[in-house]
Amino acid sequence: MKNKISIKITTERLNMQVCYDLVNDDSSGGIALFVGTVRNITEGKTVNRLDFSSHESMAEKEIKKIALQTFKKYDIIKIAIHHALGELQIGDIPVIIAVSSAHRAAAFDACQYTIDTLKQTVPIWKKEHFDDGEVWVNAHP
Amino acid sequence: MKIRILFFGIAKDIVGHNNIIFDLDGIKTIGQFQVFLKEKYVDLKDINSFAFAVNEVYVTSDHQIKADDIIAVIPPVSGG
């Protein structure tokens, strides 16, 4: 399982080609990539930048759990889950999920499951910075 | 019982520190710890929607706290 799962939480810029290459495999018939990007508007307000922070050691464990669950649920070959931390500008990439599988449905489904679960369980937080202040996303019910 | 508490996200901003050692005498469960925190930091009023992790694993409010545990206060996450 070791070379089938790539997990990275980093302050460096994420790289789509790296994720693609990590999951590319002779036995794969398709690769699904989900690339998150920093949006310029939230609820009508202009976003200047985002700050991502994390409980890093726990986040790695939670991402690993997701990867293992994804292998159990879907017939996939390899998965890469990379998340950026630190300050990101509009258009930057906070997250990349790459999944390879023999047949496309599994790659699409696994990609969706992974990003949806990551957003629910992995201890990573983003703070949005506006002209008139800042907000921790999801912090208030 | 001295326990190290880690704060993240909005909890870190409210508390003003990313980790504090508290003397938790008389506090046995995460639920009781949650009440203690809410009384100590009134601005953590949304804490009912927070999660807690002990030694990097999510726990429920009936979880028993032990010496040398590290408790993380986890506000609603927003990665991705």
pTM of the model: 0.96
State whether B56 and A136 contact (CB < 8 Å).
Answer: no
pLDDT surpassing 80 at residue B7:
yes
Min Cα–Cα distance to chain A from B78, Å? 5
pLDDT surpassing 90 at residue B45:
no
Residue B60, SS3 per DSSP: coil
Model pLDDT for residues A80-122, shown as the tens digit of each residue: 999 999 999 999 999 999 999 999 999 999 999 999 999 999 9
- Of A115, A138, A141, nearest to B78 by CB-CB distance is A138
Instruction: Supply the ipTM of this predicted assembly.
Output: 0.95
* Residue B14's pLDDT band (cuts 50, 70, 90): very high
Min Cα–Cα distance to chain B from A26, Å? 29
The answer to whether domain B2-74 has CATH 3.50.50.60 is no
Pairing assessment for the beta strands B19-23 and B2-7 based on DSSP bridges: antiparallel
**Calpha distance B59→A85 (Å, rounded):** 25
**Calpha distance A97→A115 (Å, rounded):** 7
Where does residue A67 rank: exposed (0-12), middle (13-18), buried (19+ CB within 10 A)?
buried
Domains of chain A: 2-130 (3.90.1170.40)
